[in-house]
């Protein structure tokens, strides 16, 4: 569903020193069982931040979407925004399954929770989330976290040896 709600005033920046980090070129997977929160996140990240977004309602759908994105010719996700509490497969289990499936090609993930208790955040972090945001969140908070962690992941990937480019070894 393409959204033409970019008429919401993006000049309503009430932040004094916080600058929005826009996300053109990013391919994001939004995972939340709440249709309202999925729609809000989609409109913020797609409409205002310029990211290409896919939104799904649960962990199993997220695993399936990542599996599709790993196929030859498909566009891989740069980041997953994963809700912690969902019926069926929760966020931590979905992240575990995605890591198992994707291995070194696992997208950066950012956990999202309304839970003020630390257990949900700890579970997401344990399963590889780079950060956890607490709902409700703002566009600047989301885009800054996505930008920070995808840039860091890209730098690590560039520094890691690959089959094509082996790290130099010390020989005496």
Query: Could you give the CA distance from residue 153 to residue 16 in angstroms, rounded to a whole number?
Result: 29
* C-beta of residue 132 within 8 angstroms of C-beta of residue 113: yes
- Average pLDDT taken over every residue of the chain: 81
Query: Could you give the CA distance from residue 170 to residue 9 in angstroms, rounded to a whole number?
Result: 57
Cα 150 from chain centre: 9
Amino acid 17: pLDDT = 39
Q: Please name which of 139, 21, 136, 151 lies closest in space to residue 83, comparing C-alpha atoms.
A: 136
Q: Please name which of 80, 140, 86, 67 lies closest in space to residue 110, comparing C-alpha atoms.
A: 80
Six token digits for residue 39? 């729609």
Percent of the residues in the chain that have a pLDDT greater than 90, as a whole number: 50
Q: Where are the alpha helices (DSSP H) in the chain?
A: 35-42, 59-69, 91-102, 118-126, 139-159
Most confidently modeled of 80-89, 110-119, 129-138?
A: 80-89
Query: Could you give the CA distance from residue 63 to residue 58 in angstroms, rounded to a whole number?
Result: 9
| pLDDT band at residue 28 using 50, 70 and 90 as cut-offs | very high
Residue 34, C-beta contacts closer than 8 angstroms, at least 6 positions apart? 83
Query: Could you give the CA distance from residue 136 to residue 12 in angstroms, rounded to a whole number?
Result: 18
- Higher-pLDDT residue of 1 and 129 is 129
Measured on CA atoms in the order 85, 90, 96, 101, is the torsion positive or negative?
Answer: negative
* Residue located via tokens 């399954």: 97
């Amino acid at each position: 569903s393409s959204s033409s709600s970019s008429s919401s005033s993006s000049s309503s920046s009430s932040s004094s020193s916080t600058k929005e980090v826009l996300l053109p070129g990013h391919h994001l997977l939004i995972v939340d069982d709440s249709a309202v929160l999925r729609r809000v996140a989609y409109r913020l990240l797609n409409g205002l931040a310029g990211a290409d977004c896919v939104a799904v309602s649960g962990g199993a759908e997220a695993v399936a979407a990542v599996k599709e994105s790993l196929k030859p010719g498909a566009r891989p996700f740069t980041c997953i925004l994963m809700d912690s509490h969902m019926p069926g497969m929760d966020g931590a289990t979905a992240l575990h399954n995605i890591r198992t499936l994707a291995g070194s090609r696992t997208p950066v993930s950012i956990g999202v929770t309304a839970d003020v208790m630390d257990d949900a955040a700890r579970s997401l972090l344990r399963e590889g989330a780079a950060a956890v945001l607490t709902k409700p969140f703002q566009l600047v908070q989301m885009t800054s976290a996505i930008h920070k962690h995808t840039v860091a992941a890209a730098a690590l990937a560039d520094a890691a040896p690959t089959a094509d480019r082996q790290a130099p070894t010390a020989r005496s």
